Structure 1
């Protein structure tokens, strides 16, 4: 499926589902990092990324920005699922807690994002990243500005 041409006419839930179905032309950051969205429901999104050597920090483990970006993506998409057609959002704040290191040759990291509150002007969400053994690697919260 190619990239949907006009997401502005879709509800946020329809738009995120359409974007998740795209395999050949994912949005730039998803393509760059290899992020895949697996599940989309109203207020809930799950996705994953597989670590690779290019994701290494100076210590040789996966850079924290990889988990932060994955969390920002799933939490933001979860917020997006709650929006009406033509309404957007942007991240105002992202707070990430890192719990363990991840090797660059580890299996997939899976993240879930869930909306806590969706208001007229702001929304909040929480997210968690687990490694392929089910260990919690990081968790986060976000505040998003709703753009009418």
Structure 2
């Protein structure tokens, strides 16, 4: 798999014209192949795009000490950001050329704590993609133990800019 590109400044992010010039699936495949940059937040939260196909996106990563609460557990925001990324990007695979999307709302259910440093997969799967909305579900699963650590759901709005 090619090395993914993590931007260091805003001028390295794709332009609106670039984004609108391709389908969402094409966009996600280009990110996976390192032709377009990953979201900058993925660097700080220690995850990467692992696989892309129509209706499904997988991110892989591991929380670090920097992602913990004072009580020594991984902050819920780490789970939420990872789930939002996977679920919304799964919806992106269904977005037509000339359209964009954004998360409208999402929900997270943390089932058990992820130990710091443990590698997990976050799988986002489209349940529905229409003209103006997309709905997806997500789950965080341990790579080595196969245990379910969290689930989520999202609704995204799909828009065609004028």
Q: Which residue of 1 aligns with 2:28?
A: 16
Partner of residue 142, structure 2: 131
Which residue pairs with 2:8 in the alignment? Answer: none
Which residue of 2 is the match for residue 121 of structure 1?
132
Query: Separation in 2 of the partners of 1:129 and 1:34?
Result: 14
Normalising by structure 1, we get a TM-score of 0.91
The equivalent position to 2:38 in structure 1, one of 22, 26, 29, is 26
d(CA) in 2 for partners of 1:83, 1:117? 12
- In 2, distance between residues paired with 1:24 and 1:34? 18
1:144: which partner in 2?
156
Paired with 1:50 and 1:22, the residues of 2 have a C-alpha distance of: 20
Partner Cα distance (2:58, 2:103) in 1: 18
Instruction: Give the TM-score normalised by the residue count of structure 2.
Output: 0.83
Superimposed CA distance per residue, residues 57-107 of structure 1 (whole angstroms, 9 cap, x where no aligned partner)? 1210111111111110011110000011121111111111110012223x2
Give the Cα separation in 2 of the matches to 1:122 and 1:34.
Answer: 29
Structure 2 CA distance for partners of 1:130 and 1:25, relative to 1, 3 Å: same
Residue of structure 2 in register with 1:110 after alignment: 121
Residue 60 of structure 2: aligned partner: 48
| Structure 1, unpaired ranges of 5+ | none
CA RMSD of aligned residues (A): 1.9
Q: Which moved more, 1:125-134 or 1:27-36?
A: 27-36
CA contact (8 A) 1:4 1:19 kept: no
Structure 2 equivalent of residue 79 of structure 1: 91
